Structure 1
Amino acid sequence: MAGKKTSTLLNVISGGNNRRFRFAELQSSLGLLLVESHPSLPESGAPTTNSIHPQSLAPLTPAAGGAAQPMGIPAASLAARSAVGAALAAVIAARAVRRRSLDGSGGAAGFVVMAIHLACGYRYGALMLTFFFTSSKATKIGADRKRRIEDDFKEGGQRNWIQVLANSLIATILVIILATMTGGQDQCLDSHESKVITGIIGGIIGHYCCCNGDTWSSELGVLSDEQPRLITTLKPVRKGTNGGVTLQGLLAATAGGLIIGLTFVFVGLLTVECSFDVALRQLLVIPISATAGLLGSLIDSVLGATLQFSGYCSVRKKVVSKRGPTVTKISGMTILDNDAVNAVSVLLTTALTAYACIRIF
C-alpha cells in the first residue's frame, strides 16, 4: 500500500501520462502519505482532490475526540512573524524619521501600522512597504522644483500621523479582519472558495493601488513640462492646482498601481498555495492593479477639483488651499482638505476593487 501511494506521488510530480503539473493532485497524494505518518488518522479522513486546502498540509493536532484536525498558522509561527514584523517596522520607521520621510508622529503611527501588516501576513506587509518606499522616493524627486510650486512643501515629505493613517487605516482594519478569518494563513483570490475573503484581499490591493498611484501622479506629474488641465473642465490651470492632471501624471498613476499588483503576485508565489488554474488567474491582479491606480488618481482629482479649494496667492506667487485677501479662486469649494480627499478616494477605490475581484475571481 505504501509503495502504491509513493508511486502515485512520484507520478504526479513527473507529470504522468499528461505531462502536466497539477497542484491539487500533488496535495491529494501528500495527504495520503500523511495518513501513514499519523496512524491515528483514518484513511477516509485523508484530504481529497476536491477538498484539499493549504491548511490541510499544516501541522495536525488531536481534537477533543482524538481525531487529528488541520489548523492555520501555528501559534509559534504567528508569534515569530509578529516579532519579525515589529523589529522590521521599528527599523524602517526610525530610518524614515531620520530621512525626514515622516515626522515624529508619523514615525510612531507608521511603526504601528507596519507591524500590524507584517504580523497579519508578509504579502500585505510587502504591499505597504512597496507603497511607502516608492512613494517616499517619488516625493524626493525634483525637490527644488516642487519647493517653488507647492504651498505645503516639506523637505523629504515629513508626513505626520494624520497623513499616515489617511493612507493606511482602512487597509490596516482589513488585514486584521482577514488574519482573524484565516488564522493568519495566506489565501488566493477565489470567489468560489470565499467571496468575503476574496473581497477583502481585493480591497487591500485596491487601497494601496490608489495610495501609490495618486502619490506617484502628484509627485511626478507636477514635474511635467506640459500645463495641467482641470479634470472637470479641461481648462488649463497652474501647477499645484487640486484636480489638475497631465498625461505624465496619469501614466505615473497607472505605473504606481502596476507595481503594487506585481508585488502582490510575486510575493504570493512564496507565501500561498492554490490549484494551478487558480494560481494562473492571480495574474489578472496585475492589470486590475494598474486600472485601480489610475482610477484612484482620477477619483482624487475629481474630488480635489470640486470639494477642495484652490487659489492663487499674488504675494507668495503660489497655488494655495486656503482663502485670503490676496488669494484669487481657481476652483473647488472649501469642504475637504487634502487628507480628507485622500481618505475618500482610498475608500471608494478600495470598495470598487473589492467588488471587481469578487466578480472576476
Structure 2
Amino acid sequence: MRAIIAVPAIGLLVYRAHSKNSLTPGGIFAAFLTAVAHAVHPWNLPFVLLVVFFLAGTRATHVKESIKSTLTLPSKGTSGGEGPRTHIQVLANSLTASLFSLLHAHQLHRRKQALFAAAQAGNANPSSGLGSLCFAWGGDLLVIGIIANYACVAADTFSSELGILSKGEPRLITSWRLRKVPRGTNGGVSGMGLMAGLLGSMVVVTAAVLTLPMCSEEMEGRFGGGDAWSLEQRRVLIAGLTVWGLLGSVVDSILGGLFQSTVKDVRTGKVVEGEGGVRVLVSADATSTKATTEVKAALLSGEGKDAVEKQGGSAAVEGGPSPDRYDARNKHRRSSFGDEKPSRVVENGWDLLDNNDVNFLMAFGMSVGAMAVASWYWGVPLSSIWA
C-alpha cells in the first residue's frame, strides 16, 4: 500500500478509536501495530479489510447499546456495556491476518525479484512457474486465509452484537436438546444472530472482491500476470468465503459453549460478562469462613438486619443513605447473606478458555482451514504458502 495513503489512513484510524473511546490505550497501540503490518503489503486488500472490520464492528457494537447494556451484567459493576476493547481483543481478531499479510508481502517481494530476473534473462514467459503479482484463479492461498480471517471475525462480531437483540431466547448449540439459555450465553445461537453473522461475512467478502487485484485476460501470460477470472469463478469465491465466515461464527459458538464457562447471576438470571473478554470469577469470597462467622455473630448479638448489611459491605456513608447490598456497583458486597448460597453460578461450559482465547483459536483455525479447502479445490499444494 502506498505510504501517501497508508500514513494518513492509519492516523485517522487511531484518532477515531481514541475519540470514540472504542479502544483502550493499549488497544490503540496494538491497533497501530496491526495497521502498519497490513499497510506494508503492496496490495490495498489487507488494510481495507482491517478498516472495514473495525468500522463495521464498531458500528454493530453501538447498535442499541443502551438496551444491550441492560441484557447482561458487567463483572465489575460498571455500566454502559462492555466498554472499549483491549489490546488482547484486538490481537485475538487480527493477529492471524497480520502474520499472513506479512508473509504474503514477503512472498510477493521475492516473486517480483524472481520475475524481473527472469525477464532480464530473456525468458519469453517470465511468469511461468514463478507465480503472479496479481491474484489469479488457483493462486495464492495466503490471500484466502486473510479474507477468511476477517469474514469469520466479522460474522462473529455481528452475530454477538446484533443477535443478542433477538426477541426470543437463544438456544445452546452444544446442548442435545438445544435448550434455551439467557442472552449472552457462550454457545447461545438464534436465528437473528445467524442472519447477522451472514451479513457481517458478506460485508467483508464484498469489500475483498472490490479490492482484490484479480488477474484479467489482458494480463494473462504477461509479466507478473496469471490465470484470469471468469464470472462463475468470482461467484464461487464470493459464495464460498461468505458461507465460510458464517461457519466461523458457528464454530466460535461451539468452542465457547464447550470450553468457556458462562457465569449467571442467580438473583437476576442474567449473564455476567467479563470486561475485556476475560474470565468471570464465580464468587471467590462466597464461602469465606471469616465473613460467615462475622455475620452469624452479628445476628446472635442482636444487631439484626443492619449488622448483616454492614458485614455484607453495604455500610452507609456517614450522614447518607445506605446503598443497596445487591447493587452491582457495590464492590464490597458479599455473595451470601446468611443462606451461604453464591450469587453467581456457572450456566454451562468448562472453564478452560476465555473469550479472547476462543476468538483467536476460531480465527486461526478457520483461516488455515479455508486455505486447506482452497488447496484441495484448486489442486495447489498447501506448502506453496512458503514459496
Give the percent of matched residue pairs that are identical in Structure 1 and Structure 2.
Answer: 29
Partner of 2:56: 134
Letter in 1 for 2:181: V
**Does the aligned pair in 1 maintain the 2:248–2:363 contact within 8 Å?**
yes
**Does the aligned pair in 1 maintain the 2:154–2:200 contact within 8 Å?**
yes
SS, match of residue 226 in structure 1: coil
Letter in 1 for 2:89: Q
Q: What TM-score, normalized by structure 1, do the two folds share? A: 0.71
**Aligned counterparts, 1:256-335, within 5 A:** 256-268=200-212, 271-275=213-217, 278-280=228-230, 281-315=233-267, 317-320=269-272, 321-324=280-283, 325-335=342-352
Gaps of 5+ in 2: 113-131, 219-226, 273-279, 284-341, 379-387
Partner of 2:359: 342
Using the alignment, how far apart are the partners of 1:322 and 1:205 within structure 2? 35
The counterpart of 1:164, out of the listed 90, 95, 107, is 90
Higher helix fraction: Structure 1 or Structure 2? 1
Show CA shifts across 1:286-324 (max 9, x none). 111221221111111011111000121135653124322
**Does the aligned pair in 2 maintain the 1:210–1:292 contact within 8 Å?**
yes
**Does the aligned pair in 2 maintain the 1:139–1:156 contact within 8 Å?**
no
1:178 aligns with 2:104: yes
SS, match of residue 312 in structure 1: strand
Using the alignment, how far apart are the partners of 1:316 and 1:97 within structure 2? 34
1:105 aligns with 2:57: no
SS, match of residue 328 in structure 1: strand
**Does the aligned pair in 2 maintain the 1:221–1:249 contact within 8 Å?**
yes
Letter in 2 for 1:333: W
Q: Give the count of matched residue pairs.
A: 275
RMSD: 2.1
Structure possessing the higher relative contact order (Cα contacts under 8 Å, 6 or more residues apart): 2
Letter in 1 for 2:9: L
When residues 309 and 189 of structure 1 are mapped into structure 2, their CA distance, relative to the original with a 3 A threshold, is farther
Q: What TM-score, normalized by structure 2, do the two folds share? A: 0.67
1:249 aligns with 2:201: no
**Does the aligned pair in 2 maintain the 1:311–1:328 contact within 8 Å?**
yes
1:146 aligns with 2:68: yes
Using the alignment, how far apart are the partners of 1:285 and 1:135 within structure 2? 23
When residues 113 and 220 of structure 1 are mapped into structure 2, their CA distance, relative to the original with a 3 A threshold, is same
Q: Alpha-carbon deviation of 1:189?
A: 4.4
The counterpart of 1:211, out of the listed 146, 149, 153, is 153
Deviates more, 1:113-122 or 1:297-306: 113-122
**Does the aligned pair in 2 maintain the 1:82–1:115 contact within 8 Å?**
no
1:187 aligns with 2:137: no
